[in-house]
Each structure stands twice: as structure tokens, then as C-alpha cells.
Structure 1
Amino acid sequence: MSENTLDKLIATLKSEAIEAADKEANQIVENAEQRAHKIVKDAEEKRAALLNNAEKEAQATLNKGEGALKQAARDLTVFVRNDLLKLLKAALEQEVETNLNPDLMEKAILKVVENVGSGVVLKLPEDMETKLAEKIRKRLQESDNLDSIITDKTLLKGFVVTKTDQGWSYQISPEEVAELLNAHLSPKWVDMLKNESDI
């Protein structure tokens, strides 16, 4: 084999080896680029999924917070409304007690006995002013409706009307009157408070 042929063979081998190395290097670079592209794509998908989950969690937390605030506002409204109703009831009771004076007591007793009919026993507080008690006795003795008037030291304020022939008894006191008024006025007060809170 001649030296020239040997040089050509070496050159050809070299050229083929370089070509094969270049081809392999290109394949390695291409594979690396594909892997890098896949890694970037996977990372972007994970980032998008994490952002999506974070947004959902943030929205859920925001919704829970808004719900809790609304519930707290409702609870506070109910609490304040109930406190106002208690204050209004206490003011009503005080007002009734203040205004249940001897003149009003006399009118109330006479009206109740007149409306109840015959067979009535009237109980008055033992400490009721003597003058008022005597005035009521005189006015009621003219009526056929009254069987008797008695005093009761356990009765502090107001009076008790007993219908002996029917077996019922009803106590009319500042507390009872205030309770009836409160039962009637409370729904109206609630409506007023609701209307105020809607403004």
C-alpha cells in the first residue's frame, strides 16, 4: 500500500470520525434542547397549576372572610337590636309604673269591674292610699257587680279582679300592663330598627 493511499485512508477515516462525532454532538445538542424545552414546558405547567390553585385558595379564603364578616354583622345587628328592645322595655316599664297614678288606678278599676259584670271580688294593695281605697269602695258599692273589696299585703301595686262564679282571677299591675304593651310594641320597634338599619 502506498503512502498516498494510506494518507487518503487516514484522511477518510478522520473525516468519517469527525462527521460521526459532529453527528453525535448534534444529536446530543438536539436531545439536550428537547429535554430543556420539556423541562421549561413542565415548569410552566406547574407554575400555571400552582398559580391557579393559589388563586382558588385565595378566592376561597376571601369568600370565607366575607361570609364571616357578614355573619358577624348579622350577629351584631341582632345583639344591638335585642339590647335596644331590652332598653325600650325597661323604659316602658318605668313609664307605666310612673303613670299608674291614683286617678288612673281608680278609672282602671271602675272600668274593669263594670266590664266584668257581677260576682266580682276586688283585691287592693294593703298600702294603697286610704283616700283612694275609700273612693273606690264608695263608687263600687253603688254597683251590683261587686261582691267584696279586700286588701292583700302580698299585692304590692295594681289590683286583682276575681270572678267568683267563673273561677278566674286576673292581676293588673304595672308589670302586667308593661308586658302587654311591650308584646304589642316590640314587633313595631323591630320593624323600625330594621328600617333604620336598611338606610
Structure 2
Amino acid sequence: MSEKTLDKLITTLKSEAIDAADKASKKIVEDAHTQAKKIVKVAEEKRKQILMDAEKEKEATLSKGKSALQQAARDLHITLQNSLLKLFGAVLEKEVHKVFTPDLLKSAVVKVIENIGSGIELKLSEDFEQALADHIHQHLKTSKDFVSITKADNMLNRLSIIKTDEGWSYHISPEEVAALLNTHLSGKWMNILKNEA
């Protein structure tokens, strides 16, 4: 083999080796780019999924927070209404106690006796007994109705009307009157509170 042939062979080998190396490097770069694109695409999809999950979680947290605040507002509103109704009831009872005097009982008892007739037994506290007995006696002088009045030490500030032959009785006290008025008025108070709210 001549030197020229050898040089030509070396040049050909170098050229082929360089071409092969160049092709291989291009292939490596292309594969690296392809791999990088895949990694970027997967990362982008993961990023989108993480953002979507975070957005869903944020919305769920906001929704739960709003619901909790609305529930707390409703609870506070109901508690406040109940407290106000209790306060109204306490004030009503205090006012009923103020006006629940022997004079009030006098007029009420005379009307009841006039409507019910005879055979009535009245039980009164000692404080009310004499004043009411005199008043009732004055109003019923001309009546043929029989009314029995007795005192009871445990009847502080209250009155019982008993119709023994018919088997019924009414017990009248400031607490019972206030309770009846409270039952009647609480619906109206609720309406007022709702309108104020």
C-alpha cells in the first residue's frame, strides 16, 4: 500500500469517523431535546394539575368559611333574639307584679263571681283577704250567690277560685298572668325583632 493510499484511507476514516461522531452527537442532542420537551411537558401538566387542585381547595375553603360565618351569624341572631325575648319576659313579669295589687284583684274577682254564680270558694293570701272580703261583700250584698273566702298562708300575692261542685279551679298569680301574657306577646315581639333586623 502506498503512502497516498494510506493517507487517503486515513482521511476517509477520519471523515467517516467525524461524520459518524457528528451524526451521533446530533442524535444525542435531538434525543436530549426530545427528552427535555417530554420533561417540560410532564412538568407543565403537573403544574397545571397542582394549580387546579390548589384552586379547588381554595374554593372549598372559602365556601366552608362562608358557610361557617353564615351559621355563626344565624346562631348569634337566634341567641340574641332568645336573650331579648327572655329580657322582655322578665320586664313583663316585673310590670305584672307592679300592677297585681289588691285593687286589681278586687275588680277581677267581683267580675268572675258575677259570671260564675254561687258555690265558689276563694283562697287568698292574708294580705289580700280582709280588703277583698270587704269589697266582695259590698258588691254581692244584693246577690243570692254564696261565696266562701278563706285565707292560706302559702298563697302569697295570689288567688284561687274554686268551684267544688263542678270540680274546677283557677289559680291566679302574677307569675301565671305574666306567663300567659308572655305566650301571647312573644310572637308579636318576634315579629318586631324580625322587622328591626
Identify whether the pair has TM-score above 0.5, normalized to the shorter chain: yes
Q: More deviation in 133-142 or 83-92?
A: 133-142
Does the 8 Å contact 1:126/1:153 carry over to 2?
Answer: yes
Cα displacement (A) at 1:192: 1.1
**CA distance change for structure 1 residues 86 and 146 in 2, over 3 Å: closer, same or farther?**
farther
In structure 1, stretches of 5+ residues that fail to align are none
Counterpart CA distance in 2 for 1:110 and 1:66 is: 61
Equivalent position SS for 2:123 = strand
Q: What is the match of residue 151 of structure 1?
A: 151
Per the normalisation by structure 2, the TM-score is 0.94
**Overall identity of the aligned pairs, in %:** 57
Runs of 4 or more consecutive aligned structure 1 residues displaced over 6 Å after TM superposition? none
Equivalent position SS for 1:149 = strand
Counting matched residue pairs gives 197
Aligned amino acid, residue 7 of structure 1: D
Q: More deviation in 125-134 or 45-54?
A: 125-134
In structure 2, stretches of 5+ residues that fail to align are none
Q: What is the match of residue 93 of structure 2?
A: 93
CA-based RMSD of the aligned residues comes to: 1.5
Cα displacement (A) at 1:141: 4.8
Does the 8 Å contact 2:129/2:151 carry over to 1?
Answer: no
Q: What is the match of residue 63 of structure 1?
A: 63
Does the 8 Å contact 1:123/1:152 carry over to 2?
Answer: yes
Does the 8 Å contact 1:137/1:149 carry over to 2?
Answer: no
**CA distance change for structure 1 residues 142 and 155 in 2, over 3 Å: closer, same or farther?**
farther
Q: What is the match of residue 104 of structure 2?
A: 104
* Matches for 1:63-142 after TM superposition, within 5 Å: 63-128=63-128, 130-142=130-142
